[in-house]
Copies of this chain bind each other. A is one copy, B any other.
């Protein structure tokens, strides 16, 4: 399991300590195990509680529902601890970032999480995805730095739609995904920024 390393911060960037941190570690690890052994569709809070060795009440109180818990674990697992590239120019930043994302989400455990995240979505009007918002913030940071340096830049939305989305699409649908593909997407996005209006 690779989940343990993701538990130092939760999806909101808090760093819980003491007993709370131990519960979170155990719960994240239990969810990771259940997801990677194929329980993602049928997972219940009592099951997670049993696997984690914690009281179901603690889970209900903190997360409320399996969907919220599953999404938080997925976000933490997918966007953890990646230092954002800062090379001095946007093309190189995006290249490095795209390769980091591609390599990260192509790993079997990450793919399992992404598919779990897809399964956990329903059409009850939820129209944001925390994982997506994290990526948007990261793209915005690199783009802001580049604009400050006077570089011609794409919009953050374009980086999400044309670099991040195709990578995730390839991962969840099981299409090929590697560093070369990631770099091709970056080239395309930079062509958009360079095109005449």
Contact = CB atoms under 8 A, between A and B. Distances in A.
A169 B174 contact: no
A121 interface: yes
B161 A188 contact: yes
Given A191-B191, A192-B192, A121 B41 contact: no
Nearest to A168: B169
A86 B28 CA distance: 51
Nearest to A188: B192
A80 interface: no
A163 to B, nearest CB: 9
A132 B188 contact: no
Q: Give the size range of A's interface with the partner.
A: 35 or more
Question: Quick one: which of A117, A170, A191 has the most chain B CB within 10 A?
Answer: A191
Contacts of A191: 191-192, 195
Contacts of A108: 123
B126 A174 contact: yes
B111 A175 contact: no
Contacts of A195: 191-192, 194-195
A183 interface: no
Contacts of A170: 165
15 contacts: A41-B42, A41-B119, A117-B173, A118-B173, A121-B174, A122-B174, A127-B176, A132-B175, A161-B162, A162-B188, A165-B169, A165-B170, A168-B169, A188-B192, A191-B195
